[in-house]
Structure 1
């Protein structure tokens, strides 16, 4: 039985429910990442004993499931465009914005699907955008491919954000600090393709990189959806 199927206990003696528990956990995670979340810390945030929480949530994994589903409400699109590409683009962009607001989400994307109502609604909207455009297996692989790109791109972006925060070095600062080492290595002539990329390639920001990669993935999906 999932946490969504299990009824909540009566709110006694102090008012308490899963909504308040999840809100407190998300606040902790937004501040300090998933490592800052424990049932004991959530209970302290709510000024209740830790054992009170076990009536509502059995494990920390259940708490994470509830947290993910709560922020999936921010991903769920407000409408449904007629164009499938626009629908999937909106889904990707909303997922990126939500992950930048809640960096810990990047650590939980890509695993087993969460089964909460908001997550299921998001999955429904992405599948419905492609419904009838190809056979079901092709639609499933298309959704999986887009999801894999979103997950990978966001994990990389969040990793860079965390590295910048941990080191105090911006991207430019990092390039200046490690540029001499990179130049010495490239000057050996052992890495000609990399040298060309470093010296001649265009440096773009994370948003542009994400949008460009998404366009390419959607182009590939479109090719599979087009009848031979």
Structure 2
């Protein structure tokens, strides 16, 4: 039986329910990452005994599942996109926006499919826009391909944000600090391809990079969904 199928216990003496528990856990994770989340810490935030929480959740893994599903409510589009490409684009961008608000989400993306009501609604909205465009196996590979792209891109972006906080240096500041070393290494002539990128390439922000890569992936998916020539 999943956590969503199991009924909640009575709320006395301290008013308590899964919604309050999940909200407290998300607040802790937003402040300190997943390492800041434990049943004991959530209970303390709610001014309740830890054993009370075990009446609502059996394990920390269930708590994480509930947290991810709650954030999926933010990912769920306000309106169902009619076009498959817009549906996948919306899924990618809204997932990225949710991860920027809740950086811990990046650590949980790409695992087992979420089975909560919000996660299932996001999946339904996505698959519904693709229905009938190809056989089911092709459609599933299309969704997996796009999901793999944005999951990796989001994780990389969040990792860089965390590195900035850890070092106290922005991306630009880190580049300037590392510049003398990189210049010396490129001057050896051992890295001509890299030198070309450094001196001639265009530097773009994370959002532009994400959007550009996503469109390239969608172009590739479109080629697989297009009917073969007669």
Q: TM-score, normalised to structure 2's length?
A: 0.98
Aligned CA RMSD, in angstroms, stands at 0.7
Aligned-residue offset at 1:187: 1.0
2:73 corresponds to: 73
Distance in 2 of aligned mates of 1:112 and 1:183: 44
Q: List runs of 5+ in structure 2 lacking aligned partners.
A: none
Matches within 5 A, 1:144-223: 144-223=144-223
1:1-228 aligned within 5 A: 1-228=1-228
**Aligned partners of 2:129 and 2:189: how far apart in 1?**
49
Q: Which runs of 5+ in 1 are unaligned?
A: none
C-alpha separation between the residues in 2 aligned to 1:182 and 1:128? 49
- Which consecutive aligned stretches of 4+ in structure 1 deviate over 6 angstroms post-superposition? none
Aligned residue-pair number = 228
Q: Residues 13-66 of structure 1, C-alpha deviation per residue, up to 9 Å, x if partnerless?
A: 111100000000000000000000000000000001111100001111100000
For residue 107 of structure 1, report the CA deviation from its aligned partner: 0.2
Cα-to-partner distance string for 1:101-129 (whole Å, 9 max, x where unaligned): 00000000001111101001111111111
User: Equivalents in 1 of 2:145, 2:206: separation in Å?
Assistant: 20
SS of 1:48's equivalent in the other structure is coil
> Hey, what's the Cα distance between the residues in 2 that align with 1:83 and 1:120?
19
Q: CA–CA distance in 1 between the matches of 2:129 and 2:153?
A: 22
Separation (CA, whole Å) in 2 of partners of 1:93 and 1:30: 20
**TM-score normalised by the chain length of structure 1:** 0.99
